[in-house]
Amino acid sequence: MILLRNLTLARAGRPLLEGVNLSLHAGWKAGVTGANGCGKSSLFALLSGELHQEAGDLELPPNWVIAHVGQETPALATGALDFTLDGDAELRKIEADLRAAEDAHDGEAIAHLHMDYGHIDGYSARARAAALLHGLGFKDEDFDRPVAEFSGGWRVRLNLAQALMCRSDLLLLDEPTNHLDLDAVIWLEGWLRAYRGTLLMISHDRDFLDAVVGHVIHIEGRRAKLYTGNYSAFERARAEQLALQQAMYVKQQREIAHLKSYIDRFRAKATKARQAQSRIKALARMEEVTAAHVDTPFEFRFFEPVGSPDPLLMLEDAAAGYGDTAVLQGLTLTLRPGERLGLLGRNGAGKSTLIRLLAGESAPLSGIRREGKGLKIGYFAQHQLEQLRPDESPLWHMNHLDPRTRDQDFRNYLGGFNFHGEMATRPVGPFSGGEKSRLALALLIWQKPNLLLLDEPTNHLDLEMRHALTLALSEYEGAMVLVSHDRHLLRTTCDSFCLVSDGGLKPFDGDLDDYRKWLDQPTTVKVSPQETAKAAAPRRAGDRNLAREIEQLERRMAQLTEEKARLDARLADPATYQSADKAALQKSTARQADLVRLLGEAEEKWLVLHEELEKQ
């Protein structure tokens, strides 16, 4: 059990928590919420021993192993898989002791160490580490790549994998879904639900919190209060408390009436299509969500677009990629006024590549991209935060965008994004990622776009800002294409979805629950469009035997891949390693190695057969 008794915590002389009393039982999974700067991360630093309380007591079981995600990853030469394995300190110590005992020819020590190694499931460690990396979006060929070769976002994933690899009693996660795609978020959600230790998690993803936690610790006014239930239950409880305050209650009723009006207008137009009905339910749910956010510092709306061509934008048999390499081909898409499209697809499928093509940041490698006359695009992507001038203020950026508007009008507008008083005139450089994202959104909205292209707009945004953005996007009158790992935002603001998969784009007939089922399907080996075209000619010429052999081999590869996916999922489940049947576990890990070998041999043969086809 974790006990906080009359605890006071400060940082840099500023009190964050005062007189806090909390008790958290072993095995609980709790979300930690509160405004930016309230002390959430400092509470984690206290629990991990990096900070000490000013007064009061903190009690933790003395033998607990605590895991948390490192904030920085140096440019190491260590491979990704070995870096992940480093998260299990006991495993690494036994391995080092084994090497020393073997060098000393100490047979007795070697025997004892092998027993210890088996006791901590050391023989399955590499398979477990590989399963973690797969779940977080890494490919087999990434396992031996040095950490130094990965970009910042991928190093964050490696830090997360290392923390999950630790056989911890207490796991502290601060915004674990940042830098993850939707498929990785869904995988992590399942992993954390199966985690047997105690979990404390800071997250601004409400669907993620709802699925994982059973308690919420809310920090406000230097106090921490424990709520039972998931995040939605916490919102309802807090809404009831806030509704008792008359000023808050009046604002709440005004916000709900405004939202009801929009819901009614949407319902009148909606068909009985599954996605439309899903959106109505999500919007109706927002009535009670709004109640818990009546004291939010954010209040803004998108301006009504001034005219919209029909169609806004068209792609005709277009290809997109990097340099001369096509990632996506055969792209045909027509965006019309009011269309609200969510892009789904596995990690690395090309969603951001498609968004850049739509935004005009990259030209099509082939085919046509055609803009309607009067198209005005509002494009948001994380790399655009780097284009903000670090030495200039939010007010300067607004003036630079529109020199004709008065400073006071800009100040009023920026206040809706919580840039009040001196904050509006401070340099942007020291701003947090969330503050820079809010400013980038403010600049985008001011331009009154009739087509929004949003690539992960909620990264770094807290729950209050995400809620305000969800409300604003729900009422936006223009067209929108959205890529996001925030399922609540997707479910609430999108009318339809498209799937980016297998190097192309196609409509997805379903909702996010259907997409989760699609992700659970094993990934089969796909033939690229170029290879398909090359293979088609000899088949038409009558070389059917070779084509039949390829098809049989592809079916075999699909079966092996499906079996491997099932086995990977089983070995990724911590419960697998609690079983007393160690022989079955060893058999599973051995079969996993066999499948990797068989797949490799099949792929080599597949390539040889295709080379023969090319020679025909």
17: amino acid identity, one letter:
L
Q: Are residues 352 and 211 in the same domain?
A: no
Residue 299 within a domain? no
Q: Are 143 and 192 found together in one domain?
A: yes
Task: Say whether both 274 and 363 belong to one domain.
Answer: no
Work out whether the CA dihedral 84, 87, 88, 91 comes out positive or negative. Answer: positive
244 found inside a domain = no
Tens of pLDDT, residues 214-266:
999 999 888 899 999 999 899 888 877 776 655 655 666 666 666 666 656 65
pLDDT of residue 199: 95
How much is the pLDDT for 353? 92
pLDDT of residue 344: 93
* pLDDT (tens digit per residue) in 389-399: 999 999 999 99
Q: How confident is the model at residue 526 (pLDDT cuts 50, 70, 90)?
A: very low
Count, residues in the chain:
616
Residue 435 lies in a domain: yes
Determine if residue 414 is left, alpha or beta; phi over 0 gives left, psi from -120 to 50 gives alpha, anything else beta. Answer: alpha
Domain boundary among 520, 545, 560: 520
Whole-model pTM? 0.67
For residue 253, give both structure tokens. 């009723």
Same domain membership, residue 442 and residue 392: yes
Q: Are 507 and 556 contained in the same domain?
A: no
Q: Is residue 245 part of a domain?
A: no
Distance CA 586, CA 574 (A): 15
Confirm whether 239 is domain-assigned: no
* Structural domain count, the chain: 4
- Comparing 508 with 178, the larger pLDDT belongs to 508
Indicate whether 222 and 96 sit together in one domain: yes
Residue 169 domain-assigned (yes or no): yes
Which tokens hold the place of 442?
């403010």
Contact of 341 with 481, CB cutoff 8 Å: yes
- Token output for 373: 């006359």
What phi and psi, each to the nearest 5 degrees, are found at residue 9? -130, 135
**CA atoms within 13 Å, Cβ hemisphere of 316:** 6
Closest CA to 127 of 567, 455, 440: 567
pLDDT tens readout for residues 448-460? 999 999 999 988 8
Angle at 205 between CA 437 and CA 281, to 5 degrees: 110
Q: What percent of the chain has pLDDT over 90?
A: 34
Whether 542 has a pLDDT exceeding 60, the answer reads no
CATH code, domain with 52 = 3.40.50.300
Residues 306-331: what's their mean pLDDT? 89
- Domain-embedded: residue 305: no
Mean pLDDT of the chain: 82
**The pLDDT of residue 110:** 85
Phi, psi of 417, deg, nearest 5? -105, 15
pLDDT of res. 290? 56
pLDDT for 321-376, tens place per residue?
A: 887 888 999 999 999 998 999 999 888 888 999 999 999 999 999 999 999 999 99
**Which residue range forms the structural domain that includes residue 129?**
2-234
Is residue 529 predicted with pLDDT exceeding 60? no
Domain assignment present for residue 204? The answer is yes
Is the pLDDT reported for residue 538 higher than 80?
no
Per-residue pLDDT, 120: 86
Q: Give the per-residue pLDDT at 272.
A: 40
What is the C-alpha to C-alpha distance for residues 53 and 24, in angstroms, rounded to an integer? Answer: 18
Are residues 473 and 540 located together in one domain of the fold? no
